[in-house]
Amino acid sequence: MATIPYDEFGLFHENAEEAGLPFDGPPQVVRREVATDDGRLISSLRWGADDPGLVLLHGGAQNAHTYDTVALALDTDLLAIDLPGHGHSDGGREGALDAGGMAADVAIAMEALAAPPVTLVGMSLGGMVAINVAASRPDLVSRLMLVDVTPGVDGSKAAHITAFIDGPPGFTSFDELLARTIEFNPTRSEASLRRGILHNAVQLDDGSWVWRWARHRVAPGAVRQDHAQMWDVLGSLEMPVMLVRGMSLGSVVDDEDEAMLLSRLPGARIERVEGAGHSVQGDQPLVLAGLIAGFSAPST
């Protein structure tokens, strides 16, 4: 079976073209890694020349490249981290992928590769990790943005996402993998989904494909998250907090989540994004980039 070529840094022109962004040549992006105390590697993409004051965390079963279009639009120094067990990062500590353990690893990467305190943006699972980082290491986080997630997001709200993630770990061909991805992402262009697969899956020697995160798939009991308790953790934060909520089909945040957030953090900012489902960075990347830029500004 033919091997499909993949250049990790050779697809940015597609992101720019699809979003209508100018593209004068490849952006300055490098892959950076840092070792944890137990020898695992946490990988990331550093955009720009300097250690950044902006850090982006992706959702479950995604990777740092989910923010490529957002990063192109921002055109600033930033760090997009592959969560443990995702992308190019190694698996979680002792095989677990709980938000608290991930937060400890993310904090190590932030200290080594960013310029804290930073604006920390977390989407979905990355948002839960970001809450843990902000609570356990407030010295690293000046502002916290949650993208379509709150501690109120439970299994029933995210059932459509879980159905996709719990699918086959491997596929006999790229076309089979693409067809399943299109089935669960009907509003996205085939070109963007194809690009996402190339970043998020690996072709094996026999020609079959496996999700990068599926290589670190763990038993359900190893994924430990007490979302109810996380409301108390979120409510204890003292830095500015913003919730960005997708308003289209696929979003997992509802009015009850908004109300609970404001009851715990009356000063929190809520932004509703029309035309975006759960993956706001994929559905409305330019809108999200504008919100990040405004929220990161010192005067905000």
Q: Catalytic positions, please?
A: 124, 148, 278
d(C-alpha 134, C-alpha 236), whole Å: 10
DSSP bridge pairs for 54: 119
The sign one gets for the Cα dihedral 198, 289, 106, 227 is negative
What tokens were used for 292?
């990040």
Element (H, E) at 211: strand 209-211
DSSP string, 118-181: EEEEEETHHHHHHHHHHHH-GGGEEEEEEES--TT--TTTTHHHHHHHTS-SEESSHHHHHHHH
Nearest residue to 91 via CA among 102, 80, 81: 102
